[in-house]
Amino acid sequence: MTPRPRRDDSSATTHPVPTGQAPAGGFATSLSPAARAALTGAGTRQRYPAGTPLFHQGDPSRHVVLIEKGWVKVTSTSRRGWEALLAIRGPGDILGELSAVDGRPRLATVTGLSPVEATVLTAERLHICLTEWPEIALSLLRHLAASLREADGRRVEYGSSNGDNRLVVLLVELLNKHGVATPEGILLDLPLSQQDLAAAVGTSREVVARTLRVLRDRRIVLTRRLRIVVVEPELLRSLAGSVSMSTQRP
């Protein structure tokens, strides 16, 4: 059994998070070094090749995965076969926490977008950490609150905008979180297909293709296989705040 570092109250406030704010950059990023060591020390290290499912929707498993390196996509499939991309998660994020807490089957499938290094904890080990480290429990509560706010915000957005506008808003989010400077522009450094983008904004692949074509024609973006380069980031941000681009057919 892996020994857990002893709690040290003097280190619990090394990296405080303002009250009422969800920590930026993932569940684990706000933890003190001692709390994070306790959490990772309670689990085992795992590596997943790109494209590997970490777990599937409907699985009865209850372990959690704490991402150390790499990125994953979180998807859910309806009874009619429609797949929705719920989120993209990366370093510092925790996955599978709902099943670990309530014991119910997985709500979504998690698949690696890149090679992933992670710490895997059983539900029992997570419960011990939450009991012994209030700091970890509070960070998990903030994480759950942030996820709920994100989901509520997307529901409002879906009811008040068209698929083309939602795609532009998503591209700006990806630009801000995953943008990498290149000689051509800002690369959105995630291998997302047009179907992934469509699933993320609740529209069809055809709408995504038309919207990207309009953005290419306006020389706002360049597209490659599973890659998008934003040539005019400020113009893209301006479009995200405007009314629909009206690329959808009546």
According to the model, what pLDDT value does residue 241 have? 80
According to the model, what pLDDT value does residue 148 have? 86
DSSP letters, the chain, are -PPPPPP-GGGTTSS---TT-PPTT-GGGGS-HHHHHHHHHTSEEEEE-TT-EEE-TT-----EEEEEES-EEEEEE-TTS-EEEEEEE-TT-EESHHHHHH-PPPSSEEEESS-EEEEEE-HHHHHHHHHH-HHHHHHHHHHHHHHHHHHHHHHHHHHHS-HHHHHHHHHHHHHHHHEEE-SSSEEE-S---HHHHHHHHTS-HHHHHHHHHHHHHTTSEEEETTEEEES-HHHHHHHHTSS----S--
pLDDT (mean) for 209-228: 94
Model confidence at 14: pLDDT above 50: no
Specify the pTM: 0.76
85-94 pLDDT, tens digit per residue, is 998 999 999 9
